[in-house]
Structure 1
Amino acid sequence: MIYFRGCTAREKETSIADATENLLKSAGVDYKVLDDEKCCGSVLLRTGFIDEAQSQIQKNTEALSGELILTSCAGCYKTLNQDYEGLDVIHISQFLKELIDDKKLNFNKKDLTVTYHDSCHLGRHCSIFEEPRDVISSVADLVEMQNNHENSLCCGAGGGVKSAYPEIADEIADSRISQAIDTNADLLVSSCPFCKLNLKNRGLDVLDLTEFLIEYGDVNEEQ
């Protein structure tokens, strides 16, 4: 297995990559990371730099072919799964669900209430809704925001909005956090590093799914 960390978890939200690797080691998963990992090419594809994106796709395909590829990033998952050909890709939320079901990871349930933010890429684009919720429910009680699953609101960061129109990205993020606060949850969990980056520091604790498990799950390594 190759753990494809993605740009955000590798460079900006490094605690997500660290938490993911800690969980993989706790479960005894044999994996490796690429020392020279490159961007998946998502931004190039979405902004119209098709030739540059195809060059990136070719290089990554050569490095990743023949391996099961684990991603932290919802955007990387969508891109590697839908814009590449012949790759075997799994998102961390799906893989954690498998590890929990196989009792390779065991967590202690807490008196804790959590709400979950469906990222656009993982949710509406890839129809992954239940796996992250099942993982959360192994540790805490889950409460839903007004908009969830297919009707979830965007975090405000996608589509280049955060870079081109930061004030709009902030307004959208504040609206989403307001919905989370209305649930009276103790914290908000997402399965997308980019969503976490835009939603954090707005009045409610925000964690990636992997960070949440490390901080609150009390990983029990006894099998």
Structure 2
Amino acid sequence: MLEKYHDEMLSCTACAFCKKSYYVYKFAQKESDYPKGKVMVCYGLFSKEIEEDMDVVKILQKCTLCRRCEKDCPSMIKISDIIWAGRYDLKNLLPEHEKMLQNFEKYNNIFGEKNYEKEGSEITFFMGCLVSKEMKDVVISLFDKLGIDVTVIGGCCGYPIEKIGRRVKIKLIEKEMDKLIFSCPNGMLAFKEFKPMHISQFILSLDVNFLKNNKNYIYHDSSFLGRYLGIYDEPREIIKRIGNLVEFEENREMARQCGGEIEFKIAFPQEAGEMAEYLAREAKKKDAIIVTTSPHCYSHLKEYGDVVDLLQLVEENIK
């Protein structure tokens, strides 16, 4: 995989502009903990100047692939793609990722839990691992309130497994689907050929009336919903119809990663926690409830502050 990025790796001038926005580096302060160092390690693996060992595996896995650093790169290098390619070339996995892979292969669920499914109409919601774990009842209640007999597909989309550098191919059950809806950006990226809709897009396509309140809601842009999928406005529009929209100092394309991507969180809990605490402090300072649009972000951030997922916010405030 790294061969594809040979010229890209050589384009890195080691200017270290990526250091200022790379949050893992801010908390760890090691040369290999910011993008320039990781690109150098990838080139070393490609050129055979570096041999793979568990330290190298840890270096390449210690990244959320959020693409924030690329916004500061004057050479416009696809840093996340290089690191991701390096992972595909690794022979070994971290122990935490081995367990995640084993659960996926045995249960089609990275937590090793039972998958929830439900037959219904041609409007289909992909539940996934984290939504099933955190918000299954909210999903069912939401579609009931919308008057939709939704079909629910369970199981893992496989994207977290891809992000640790292992190839998977998940096939959706052959069935008629008018719309395929997700609340998890990972699932949308895994099944992008099906033209998926995010739940925020689906809600705005309906004539939904909301209860209005005076609470402050601060929207956290998921890296994968935002920088990967380009969805920024729809969640904000829903929030404005319910309460007062507040913004983080760094938002939209410049938004901070919260550390909640499951494959990063389980392997690097301290760094993930510090990243979440930073956002929780800013939200508290602005007297606002954090709104997430990714189950990865919700599952993580709720441990550090006052957080609600957009699914919950909509379900609780439909007239």
C-alpha contact 1:115 1:145 (8 A) present in aligned 2: yes
The one-letter code sitting in structure 1 at the alignment partner of 2:298 is K
> Does residue 173 of structure 1 match 2:281?
no
The separation in 2 between residues aligned to 1:63 and 1:38, in whole angstroms, is 15
> Does residue 39 of structure 1 match 2:156?
yes
C-alpha contact 2:160 2:186 (8 A) present in aligned 1: no
Which one scores higher on RCO, CA 8 angstroms, separation ≥ 6? 1
TM-score by length of 1: 0.82
C-alpha contact 1:78 1:122 (8 A) present in aligned 2: no
The separation in 1 between residues aligned to 2:196 and 2:190, in whole angstroms, is 10
Out of 275, 278, 292, the residue aligned to residue 190 of structure 1 is 292
The one-letter code sitting in structure 1 at the alignment partner of 2:247 is E
The separation in 2 between residues aligned to 1:67 and 1:121, in whole angstroms, is 24
The separation in 2 between residues aligned to 1:64 and 1:123, in whole angstroms, is 29
1:30–1:214 Cα change, 3 Å: closer
Two-structure CA RMSD over aligned residues (Å): 1.7
Shift of 1:29: 2.3
> Does residue 19 of structure 1 match 2:138?
yes
C-alpha contact 1:17 1:72 (8 A) present in aligned 2: no
Q: Once the two structures are aligned, what percentage of the paired residues are identical?
A: 32
Note the alpha carbon deviations across 1:82-101, whole angstroms, 9 max, x for none. xxx3x1311111111112xx
Match in the other structure for 2:30: none
> Does residue 73 of structure 1 match 2:176?
no
Structure 1: give runs of 5+ residues left out of the alignment.
none
Shift of 1:137: 0.9
SS of corresponding position for 2:229: coil
Matches within 5 A, 1:96-115: 96-99=203-206, 103=207, 105-115=208-218
Number of paired residues? 197
Matches within 5 A, 1:19-168: 19-34=138-153, 37-50=154-167, 53-54=168-169, 57=170, 59-60=171-172, 62-63=173-174, 66-81=177-192, 85=193, 87-99=194-206, 103=207, 105-158=208-261, 160-168=263-271
1:143–1:64 Cα change, 3 Å: farther
Match in the other structure for 2:302: 200
Stretches (4+) displaced over 6 A: none
The separation in 2 between residues aligned to 1:49 and 1:95, in whole angstroms, is 31
C-alpha contact 1:191 1:209 (8 A) present in aligned 2: yes
The separation in 2 between residues aligned to 1:17 and 1:32, in whole angstroms, is 13
TM-score by length of 2: 0.58
Shift of 1:45: 1.3
C-alpha contact 2:298 2:309 (8 A) present in aligned 1: yes
